[in-house]
Amino acid sequence: MLKPVLVVLTLAQGGGTHLALTSAEDAEECLAKADVVTQVLEGAGLQVIEARCAETALNFTPYSHSAQSGSHIHRWRVTLPETGAIIEPLATDDSCDPAPDAVPAVHCALSAQGIEQDG
């Protein structure tokens, strides 16, 4: 079943891209979260590459505000079509070719969040 998720890509120190994912009850709540999160991150001096709502069947580990840069160990490919986002977890040996200026844009990102394991 697809559920709404806020996809936030930020520019990390050193030029990499970080990904944060936050679940939402519905599209309206997701849009409200996107506005707030963008303001908070930009107010903290971070560069927000993109903050948009999408739908996914994936379940993510919880987001932690205290995640340190070194804990961003999960690799993701995020494709940004005109609306929504395609979020793909990458295995260690999977390649990712970033194309941030392409249509659709493709970002290769690191995240402290991974796929939640059932059980």
Which of 8, 87, 103 is CA-nearest to residue 47? Answer: 8
Asked if the structure places residue 119 within a domain, the reply is: no
Mean pLDDT confidence for 89-94: 93
H/E run at residue 53: strand 48-56
- Given a cut of 70, is residue 69 above it in pLDDT? no
Asked if the structure places residue 80 within a domain, the reply is: yes
The parent domain of residue 9 ranges over 3-111
Asked if the structure places residue 86 within a domain, the reply is: yes
pTM recorded for the entire structure: 0.90
Alpha-carbon span 42 to 102, nearest angstrom: 24
- Given a cut of 60, is residue 55 above it in pLDDT? yes
Structure tokens at 13: 């120190």
- Total number of domains constituting the chain: 1
Asked if the structure places residue 117 within a domain, the reply is: no
Answer whether 48's CB lies under 8 Å from 42's CB. Answer: yes
Residue 86 has a CB neighbour count (10 Å cut-off) of 14
pLDDT tens string 3-18: 999 999 999 888 899 9
